[in-house]
Structure 1
Amino acid sequence: MTPLRDGATHIPKTILAGLIAGVLVSFYAISFSFLIFAHAAPGAIPIGFWINFSGQTVAAVIAVVAWHKSNMIWQAQSIVVVTLAGIAARYAASEPALSEAQITALILAAVMLATAATGLVMLIVGWTQSARFVKNVPFPVVSGFLTATGVLLLINAAGLVLPRHPGWAELLAPETLARWSLPTLLAGAIVVLRAYRGIEISVPLAAAAVAGVTYLVGAFSDGGLPAALHSGMFLQSQVPLGTRISLPSLDLFEAFPLAVFLREVPNLLVVAVLSLLGMLLNLSAAELSSRRTVDLDAEVRRAGLSNLLAGMTGGIVAYQSATLSFLSRELAPNAGRLLPITAGLTAVAIGAFGVPYLAYVPAALIVFLLSYLGFGLLQRWFVSELPRLTSGDIITIVVIVAITLLHSLLLAVIVGVALAALNFTISYSRLPIFRSRSTGEIKRSTTERSAEAEKILDQTGKATLIYELQGYLFFGTVTRMYKEVRQDLEQSEVGIRHVILDFRRVLGTEVSATLMVVRLARSIRENGAKLIVTALPEALTREQELGGEDIADHSFATLNEALTWVEDLMLGEVQPGDRPDETIGTLLDRIERDVPGVSFPTTDLAAGTDVFRAGDAPDGFVCVETGRLVALTAGRAGRDVQIASYLPGAIVGEMAVFTGAGRSATVRARTDAVVRRVPQAALDTLRRERPDMAAELLSILGKRMAARLSRTTAQLYSQ
């Protein structure tokens, strides 16, 4: 197919997708108008049409301009509409009673403030590139608010066609079934089938079916369709034939009840923040469904500009719709700007020329559309999330829904955030505060010593308890740490001499946790042990300065430094210091004596001399006779980072004897040192001439490596 013909085939699909999107946008705008005004100020429903269609028109223009960058269809959002419907109901119930003109003025002012505030908040967030941070609102709060929105949509949908206190006879009457029960059940069935059976049912076709059934019921009822038009089955009773969109008049504000308006301002400002959050959730869903990266900050700026302009015209909040955008892409995958143009023109045409004929629209159709939105929110934000929610999350969501229904959105959000914070605190306190718990027998410093020294540390290591802490320290976690450390002290089979607390992975501390750590330090000393801390947090350092009492007996920058200090202390009490490994040294002497042509020369090294460098080809290993060597690897900014040190008796580089791989690190003399070299050529000669001695030497090397691996494995299992 040629590009010209291929493009021609896209045009009908694009126009069809645009028409469907425009019709859906229009009918939701009509539904939202009824939702806000039907009970509070029914005579002002034509003004409600202006509020919804003017906001949608501004959004349509922005959608057309930004199409090639965002590919999104925009529409008015139920989050704002449901909140405004609740505010409108409270205006209508105000004492003393207000006139319909005053209620209409209040609703119009509320819409303008909510939309303009939403636009301003979005512009600020977009310009400061903070969109990703707004998404950090606790999920139970978001879920609770959107679940409450779904419940309110269902309640308000029923309220459009049912009397305020219906009895069973009224609920089961044929007219009621046609207007409310059947469309509500159909909407719920579509959501359930889509979510749990993967069955896609076209919403436009279902809406057409609802309208068709309503016309059939009306045709076969007493008096036929003419009588049905005035029975409440159609919108004729609320929007008489010939009604047109009505522009708001300044005369409405002559007796404006400012005090009543100011009472709801906090709720309107909360709407701005929640609208921003709702839009970001829509954008995230659109990003997943389209499998492309969405520039959140740019989209937020576009929505901010649109709503700021819409607020000036009295329009309602509108922004990118993930659902309509996905539907449009399914119908016309490669659509160009013609799609949003068609959708926008369709919506404008319905608003300008279709409103006079709304009298013929079945009330059940409005109920169906609102119920579909309500069930969709319930399924997406509550039912589908139940397997992942904790009991605390569920309680938070239920409380938010209840407060929203019984009181106000602002109080619901405040209580929801408080409950989410409490639930997080309780959950966090149950997380393990210890990244690892071990003893000096298992966890060692990176200092390599002689086999004799390692045996001594194996025997004395149980007297050192080592705790690596993690996360945020607050009263709950530190109290548990206090109890467990005391329990370890009391149940130890040997007398504990040192307790090491490593704070390197601690993210922060609060005041009560700091005081509990001080209390733990006193308890450790009372048990005859010394407390050693590493990477002491600033809060504990400040408490130490203010209290005039040292929290720890010794403090080090790193855990490795603390372990090295304890090991040196233990060895110093048992022996004068590290000595060359007599086992391997004796064997090397015997090999030199008994095997002609094999020698292991000693080399004097000045401090700073490299024994070998990272990447060098392997050439045997060395034994440290005196002094100290260190292993270095390249760190950030090209700086050398010490990863191990070697004292007399340590064997360095023996891994290469088994693997043949190049040197993985640079080994350098930290002090003046003497090493005994065991070159690869000597090892090869030894294997040929005296395989028994070669096997004995390799056995010693293997045992040293196995002991090191055993300690590493034990350390991993101790975490």
Structure 2
Amino acid sequence: MFGVGFVVIAITAVTLSISFAALVYTGPLSVFLGQGINATLLGAAIMALVGSFFLSVRGSICNPQDVTAVLIGAAAAGIATTGNVPVEHLFPTVIGLIVTTGIFTGLVVFLAGAFKLSALVRYAPYPVIAGFLAATGYLLFMGALSIAARETVSISNLTMLFHSVAIIKWVPWVAGAIFLTFIERRQASELTVPTVLSLSVLAFFALLGICGYSLSDAMEMGLLLGPFDNTSFSLPYNSDFFAKIEWAAIASAAPTLIAVSGLTLLGALLNGTGIAMTLGAKFNSEQDMKATGLANVASATVAGLPGYVILGESILARRMGLRGQVPSLASAAGCLAALYFSADILAYMPAGLLVMAVAYLGFDLLATWLWESRNRLSRFEYGIVVLIVAIAATVGFLLALAVGMLAAIAIFIVSYANTEVILSRSTGATRRSRVERSEEESDYLSKVGSELVVLDLTGYLFFGTAHRLSEAVQSELSSERPIKYLILDFRRVPGIDTSATNSLAGMLETSEQAGVKLFFTGMSEDVEKQFALASPHNEGVKKIPNIDAALEIIEGDLLSEEPGGARVESARLMQLIERLEVEYHEDPGALERITLAPGEKLIRLGTISSECYFLLSGTLRAEIEDQSGNRVRVAEFQPCALVGEIAYYAEVPRTAWVIASTDSKVVRVDLKRMERAPTQTLIEFHKAAARSLARRVMRMTRLTSEL
């Protein structure tokens, strides 16, 4: 199996490399096909050898690729057909294009790996990638027809095939490609493609014999790849060769260089990931980017075509028993052997074999990305795929990619603008600060809480989403139930643009006219800076570090408006505490008044819960430790608030420290001690505490439903 696998990988590498060379050296360049094949084979061998040493997944084969060959072929065809390059300068100019593209691509990919920028390629829109691959399938099919016609074929001159190209040169081979595509997609196997191609070659030569044609007859009929005008190959780096290179023509193909480098990055990442997942190996994207870059630069020095890790051939090699560097060595050995014997063998290879191989690659891409993707993409996304293919067929490949990218961006903007920028809406009736207040104050805040509206925002704010936010704010300001306070929480907003900033300034002005106080909370440093730069005259805007601080301010304002004010002496719990002090005056340990100085601890984290506390005056705060070990305030207690009742009733250790923020007075209520001789007042105290807890839970439940 090892020997068979070695031979299969070698033949596959040779066949694909020659096919890709035929995509470039076609039409007016077909006279240079022999030299082009030799350059491609030598470059493929070098690429495979370099990749075998540096790729992270051993067994991966780095070879030229169809997508890059199509782009270079299109650029080469453009140079050859414009008429601006003299005939004697065509081959040096195309060689210069290939070398320049290979070196540029290699450097870009290598630097992407060195600076760990490879992940940026993953941001390419999926519909554009699908459209690109589908358009590549179309161009591969056109390339296959160009190989058969020995001149450039496009949709504009497609009818020429039926008039000036013998049917036998392309129809049977295209039909074979369709059959191969059908078989491969119905009964996928790593051996299907090489087996069908080999049988096709055998059938071709068998039919030649049956029909009584010799190899010379077949060559004269144009059924074989030869004859080649010049099959020798040497590195033509001399002053005469460089003098014939039309660098202006190469410069005009700059978009091709960019496209090839980007697609090499993307293809190397996708194929490398696929191979690693299939083989159960660890994939190092940075290492593979650098390896792919080095392989492309090395291959470019001999005018080899750009490429990257090839998925199918690498997986096939592993399943046929080839391990380590052997698959790459098999690929390199096959290409070098074909290069050495090219004058004697390659000229007699059926030209239709290349037509069939290239057409199969095209049909496979079209079936996957133009036909099957219609079930995976939305209507608009699939429209982008069809648009890219249509423009690539009628106008140009690179323009198709540009238009597809613009269409994808436009759809993204429209779709993102329709996403809900408001994550949740709540009111002061359920949304409270961390300040624990008396039962009477909590009831009053629930009563007037509708005067406060909180809008939690999410996502990036730009002109589309900012308009939706502006409409929502205007709806709140013109509501039948008037509000006095409006909070926009930016905690989940990573950034804003200038249009959004102007919209926020307009909201501020509108709210002031409506007599509503507008608060911006949770702005990140970047968002706040952008807002300040775009709206330097909005000094009056209330920007609060976090929503809790804003809620605390507004609650204070609302309570100050309570008729008669909040009187601590009238609180029901205060009255119960005073009655308990009278009833248990003979047991001084049951209730104890404690005075605390600022910073003094009342409750320690983790201690046993045997009592609760009632705050008479002053302010207390509850603190916990975050993951960094820093103390964080999680609650604040105002007079008439119960402290520590949750841990007591749950029978768990204390969950936080409670510390005095100001001079404070509390009553320690030892409930367990008093329960030895319970009174009716003690029962009422338990009920009042339970009612306070129940209301807090109900408020949190309503808030959860609102969020």
Query: When the two structures are superposed, what TM-score results if normalisation uses the length of structure 2?
Result: 0.89
Counterpart CA distance in 2 for 1:246 and 1:612 is 88
- How much has 1:408 moved relative to structure 2? 3.9
Matched, 1:87 2:80: no
In structure 1, the residue matched to 2:389 is 401
Deviations 1:256-285 (A, max 9, x none): 444433322332343223322222222222
Matched, 1:630 2:627: no
Counterpart CA distance in 2 for 1:544 and 1:258 is 50
Query: Does the CA contact (< 8 Å) of 1:503 and 1:535 recur in 2?
Result: yes
Deviations 1:54-78 (A, max 9, x none): 2112112213323676431111111
In structure 1, the residue matched to 2:632 is 641
1:403-552 to structure 2, matched below 5 A, reads 403-493=391-481, 495-536=482-523, 537-545=528-536, 547=537, 549-550=538-539, 552=541
Give 1:563's match in structure 2, choosing from 551, 555, 564: 551
Counterpart CA distance in 2 for 1:692 and 1:213 is 105
Counterpart CA distance in 1 for 2:670 and 2:164 is 96
CA shift in 2, pair 1:664/1:202, >3 Å: farther
- How much has 1:110 moved relative to structure 2? 0.8
Give 1:323's match in structure 2, choosing from 299, 305, 312: 312
Counterpart CA distance in 2 for 1:580 and 1:31 is 94
| Structure 1 letter corresponding to 2:461 | L
- How much has 1:83 moved relative to structure 2? 0.7
Matched, 1:149 2:136: yes
- How much has 1:86 moved relative to structure 2? 0.9
Counterpart CA distance in 2 for 1:680 and 1:172 is 102
In structure 1, the residue matched to 2:117 is 130
Query: Does the CA contact (< 8 Å) of 2:184 and 2:193 recur in 1?
Result: no
In structure 2, the residue matched to 1:357 is 345
Matched, 1:212 2:205: no
In structure 2, the residue matched to 1:283 is 272
Secondary structure of the residue that 1:507 maps to in structure 2? coil
In structure 2, the residue matched to 1:74 is 62
Secondary structure of the residue that 2:457 maps to in structure 1? strand
Counterpart CA distance in 2 for 1:314 and 1:488 is 67
CA shift in 2, pair 1:317/1:716, >3 Å: same
Matched, 1:268 2:261: no
In structure 2, the residue matched to 1:29 is 17
Matched, 1:183 2:176: yes
In structure 2, the residue matched to 1:117 is 104
Give 1:313's match in structure 2, choosing from 302, 314, 318: 302
Secondary structure of the residue that 2:608 maps to in structure 1? coil
CA shift in 2, pair 1:674/1:378, >3 Å: farther
Give 2:286's match in structure 1, choosing from 297, 301, 311: 297
In structure 1, the residue matched to 2:612 is 621
Counterpart CA distance in 1 for 2:671 and 2:373 is 63
- How much has 1:518 moved relative to structure 2? 1.4
Counterpart CA distance in 1 for 2:290 and 2:13 is 22
Query: Does the CA contact (< 8 Å) of 1:120 and 1:304 recur in 2?
Result: yes
Give 1:600's match in structure 2, choosing from 586, 591, 602: 591
Counterpart CA distance in 2 for 1:255 and 1:243 is 18
CA shift in 2, pair 1:376/1:580, >3 Å: farther
Secondary structure of the residue that 1:84 maps to in structure 2? helix
- How much has 1:25 moved relative to structure 2? 1.1
Deviates more, 1:164-173 or 1:478-487: 164-173
- How much has 1:568 moved relative to structure 2? 0.8
- How much has 1:28 moved relative to structure 2? 0.3
Secondary structure of the residue that 1:491 maps to in structure 2? coil
- How much has 1:298 moved relative to structure 2? 1.2
Deviates more, 1:638-647 or 1:403-412: 403-412
Counterpart CA distance in 1 for 2:378 and 2:498 is 29
In structure 2, the residue matched to 1:3 is none
- How much has 1:541 moved relative to structure 2? 2.5
- How much has 1:590 moved relative to structure 2? 4.4
User: When the two structures are aligned, how many residues end up with a matched partner?
Assistant: 692
Query: Does the CA contact (< 8 Å) of 1:471 and 1:505 recur in 2?
Result: yes
- How much has 1:46 moved relative to structure 2? 1.0
| Structure 2 letter corresponding to 1:115 | G
CA shift in 2, pair 1:327/1:201, >3 Å: closer
In structure 2, the residue matched to 1:9 is none
In structure 2, the residue matched to 1:8 is none
- How much has 1:253 moved relative to structure 2? 5.3
CA shift in 2, pair 1:199/1:707, >3 Å: farther
Deviations 1:370-421 (A, max 9, x none): 2332234335555554444344433333333333334444433433333332
| Structure 2 letter corresponding to 1:131 | S
- How much has 1:94 moved relative to structure 2? 1.2
- How much has 1:151 moved relative to structure 2? 1.5
Query: Does the CA contact (< 8 Å) of 1:624 and 1:676 recur in 2?
Result: yes
Deviates more, 1:689-698 or 1:135-144: 689-698
- How much has 1:223 moved relative to structure 2? 4.5
Secondary structure of the residue that 1:472 maps to in structure 2? coil
Secondary structure of the residue that 2:568 maps to in structure 1? coil
Give 2:669's match in structure 1, choosing from 674, 678, 683: 678
Query: When the two structures are superposed, what TM-score results if normalisation uses the length of structure 1?
Result: 0.88
Secondary structure of the residue that 2:393 maps to in structure 1? helix
> Identity percentage over the alignment?
25
| Structure 2 letter corresponding to 1:451 | E
CA shift in 2, pair 1:332/1:136, >3 Å: same
- How much has 1:530 moved relative to structure 2? 1.8
- How much has 1:202 moved relative to structure 2? 2.5
| Structure 1 letter corresponding to 2:652 | A
Secondary structure of the residue that 1:638 maps to in structure 2? coil
Deviations 1:668-689 (A, max 9, x none): 111121222233532xx51x64
Counterpart CA distance in 1 for 2:368 and 2:462 is 35
- How much has 1:172 moved relative to structure 2? 13
Deviates more, 1:116-125 or 1:528-537: 528-537
Deviations 1:170-216 (A, max 9, x none): 8999736763332221232145326xxx6776221222233234344
| Structure 1 letter corresponding to 2:304 | G
Query: Does the CA contact (< 8 Å) of 2:55 and 2:291 recur in 1?
Result: no
- How much has 1:427 moved relative to structure 2? 1.6
CA shift in 2, pair 1:389/1:615, >3 Å: farther
Counterpart CA distance in 2 for 1:176 and 1:702 is 91
Deviates more, 1:106-115 or 1:264-273: 264-273
Query: Does the CA contact (< 8 Å) of 1:191 and 1:379 recur in 2?
Result: no
CA shift in 2, pair 1:167/1:109, >3 Å: closer
Deviates more, 1:395-404 or 1:693-702: 693-702
| Structure 2 letter corresponding to 1:202 | T
Gaps of 5+ in 1: 1-11
CA shift in 2, pair 1:384/1:668, >3 Å: farther
1:208-247 to structure 2, matched below 5 A, reads 208-221=198-211, 223=213, 227-228=217-218, 230-232=220-222, 234-235=223-224, 238-240=225-227, 244=231, 246-247=233-234
Counterpart CA distance in 1 for 2:508 and 2:235 is 72
| Structure 2 letter corresponding to 1:541 | A
Query: Does the CA contact (< 8 Å) of 2:92 and 2:244 recur in 1?
Result: no
Give the aligned CA root-mean-square deviation in angstroms.
3.1
| Structure 1 letter corresponding to 2:196 | A
